[in-house]
Copies of this chain bind each other. A is one copy, B any other.
Amino acid sequence: MNIESKTVTGKRASNRASNRDAILAAARAVFAELGYGGASVRDISRRTELATGTFYNYFSSKEDVFEALTQETGEELRALLSRARKQADNFEQFIEASYLTYFTYYAENPENYRLVRSNRGRDAGNLKMQGPQVTAGLAEMRQDIERAMKLGMIPKSDAALLTAAIGGVAFSILDEIMQHDPVDPNRAAKFASALFMQGLNGSLTDA
């Protein structure tokens, strides 16, 4: 009976290496839809042609896939951000390019947005509440900011607070724009960078 059904579904063809990807894809969809707590390993496996137990050949726990997922998204996004920042000639470009990259990335990968969104603030109990990727991304940005301060590109101030502020604006404006259709990452990025460059008195006027 089993043998036959295996023949029928046939999808076993997918070579072993790609099973990991299949699970990751399924997990991304399921976590985005149900959140970490609401998703079960069987929900994930069911979204796959694989059996429940197979999951554990590729990931050691539910937590583990979740981390792999945020790892993945985080690295991708961090790489994009890093590249964008390197091309900046001044701080305004640095900021605006960062926001544009960030907003664009999620606008183009709404499932990743929902993944992050559904699981922000997870892992209560340990006070590190944004995924390690977010922490790492912010740390990189902070280094860049400190460098910029040293080079006199921007006034010296509290780099920690500034980095936090930049991140907070990114998160909250992302939430705001993702609720509307169509999403306009460009406008949002302009708004955010103008805010950081000149404050309310600046270019906000024409937004």
Q: Which residues from chain A sit less than 8 Å from chain B, CB to CB?
A: 31-38, 91, 114, 117-125, 127, 129, 154-158, 160-162, 164-165, 167-173, 175-177, 179, 188, 191-192, 194-202, 204-207
Contacts and interface: CB of A to CB of B under 8 A. Distances in A.
B161 A124 contact: no
Q: What does DSSP make chain A's interface, helix, strand, loop or mixed?
A: helix
A125 B35 contact: yes
A162 B127 contact: no
Contacts of A91: 200
A115 to B, nearest CB: 9
Nearest to A193: B199
Contacts of A114: 127
Contact of A199 (B129, B171, B199): B199
Given A165-B172, A192-B165, A35 B124 contact: yes
A33 B125 CA distance: 5
Point out which of A168, A197, A206 has the most chain B C-beta atoms below 10 A from its C-beta: A168
Contacts of A121: 35, 117-122
Copies of this chain, how many?
4
A33 B197 contact: no
A73 to B, nearest CB: 15
The 7 closest A-B pairs by CB, nearest first: A35-B124, A168-B172, A118-B124, A120-B121, A199-B199, A168-B168, A157-B204
A124 B129 contact: no
A172 B173 contact: no
Nearest to A207: B157
A33 B123 CA distance: 10
Contacts of A127: 114, 117, 179
A124 B37 contact: yes
A162 to B, nearest CB: 7
A119 to B, nearest CB: 6
Contacts of A124: 31-38, 117-119
